[in-house]
Structure 1
Amino acid sequence: MNAATVCNISVRPSISQFPANPIRRHKTSIGGRRRRRNPILLLARASLAIETVEGQARSDSESESVARRLILLRHADSSWERPLLRDHDRPLSKAGEADAVIVSHKLQQLGWIPELILSRKPYAVNWCSDALRTQETLKIMQEQVRGFMEAEVRFISSFYSIAAMDGQTAEHLQQVICRYARDEILTVMCMGHNRGWEEAASMFTGASVELKTCNAALLEAAGKSWEEAFALAGLGGWKLQGLVKPSGNL
């Protein structure tokens, strides 16, 4: 009998109708008389209480799987005006600076603003290598779009070297992301270099992805956590939502 049926009862049934009722009688002192509580009401209330507790337990234990977005951005074009500079120290070219402005606004239009970025200075989370051209790319994007400035930024020195090693970038990115990205963070951007970034994008999606300078691959997978998203998608299971380039369509 449900709660709605109980509310429509106007005559108290005889207690003799419930000879096997295990509910104990409760005594109250009202005018010196003993009153027995209605066993139907007690059973209904107990049933409702059990359903409420069970429903709450299910709700607490079942967190929803959500879309998690990964931006793999290659740094903007670098300058070769000073050929004797170390590769690590080459700044952006004028064209590279302009491309960084364009791509930052395109990501904003698409709503792909990272909450986590990987850079040398701890004021923004993107994950970024410490090479000068990646730092300058990020600085321009932060100046153009407020969301990039508000993102958490971490400096990952290994992003520079790992990109030169065949077949290791994808696994390394997964490890770093799972280490630093909290479950509430839904969009992460990793800034780095080829050939590793292009290779990682291709391995994650199972497609052939080309990343020229200042190109961003937009990847998505679902999971209750970043660890689960990587575990469920595996290599080749991330969905490629698009490529953002300085020129052409979004």
Structure 2
Amino acid sequence: MLGQSLQILPCWNTATSCHRHATSFPILRRRERRRSNKRLDIAATATMATPSGSVQVQPGSPEKVAPYSDSEPRRLILLRQAQSSRDNRSLRDYDRPLSQSGKLDAAKVSHKLRKLGWIPGLILCSDATRTRETLKIMQEQVRGFFEAEVHFLSSFYFVAAMDGQTGEHLRQAICKYSADNVLTVMHFP
């Protein structure tokens, strides 16, 4: 999770969006990037879809994201759970906890998202053990994550296996709960 750069891409067409604003959610995408010393880092860029094309945005400056709209930009952050432990082979996949390095990564990512100003009002989280632990650590580290409305969705555990259905499933979940800044904690977004 932590050793991947972050990139924002448009999530769905504004004409089919259920939200009240005329902007589209950007979507967070992971991209592997390693330094020469084998340490991993996080970088972030943002691209917002606009009626006339795309606008590049510097992290931490959301007011510059949508110059074409009076409303606040909306953001969808897809976050994969932190690294899980495989120490106990008798546990079901669903019940696997985080590894020690996964716990450290979850804390680091929460601070990175806070630094970027990407504090969600809504968190949609898989109800698997490792995603719950990832969210709990993030909430302990950054108060804004604790203050967000949280919904645990069992379907997020299974949607990773449904090839091609993740985007539509996310759109439906976001439309149901509706918020401007949404964080999802899932498996292989």
TM range (shorter): 0.5 to 0.7
1:191 aligned partner, one-letter code? V
Match in the other structure for 1:153: 150
Structure with larger Rg: 1
Q: Deviations over 1:191-240 (max 9, x none)?
A: 1001xx1xxxxxxxxxxxxxxxxxxxxxxxxxxxxxxxxxxxxxxxxxxx
Q: Deviations over 1:69-95 (max 9, x none)?
A: 110000000001101110000000000
More helix by share: 1
Match of 2:89 among 83, 87, 108: 83
Match in the other structure for 2:169: 172
Match in the other structure for 1:187: 181
Question: 5 Å matches for 1:93-242?
Answer: 93-116=99-122, 126-181=123-178, 185-194=179-188, 197=189
| In 2, Cα distance between equivalents of 1:70 and 1:115 | 11
Displacement of 1:127 in angstroms is: 0.2
| In 2, Cα distance between equivalents of 1:66 and 1:98 | 32
Structure 1: state its 5+ residue gaps.
Answer: 1-62, 117-125, 198-250
Q: Provide TM-score, normalisation by structure 2.
A: 0.62
Match in the other structure for 1:36: none
1:142 aligned partner, one-letter code? Q
| In 1, Cα distance between equivalents of 2:83 and 2:90 | 17
Stretches of 4+ aligned residues off by more than 3 angstroms: 63-66
Structure 2: state its 5+ residue gaps.
Answer: 1-68
| In 2, Cα distance between equivalents of 1:170 and 1:112 | 21
1:137 aligned partner, one-letter code? T
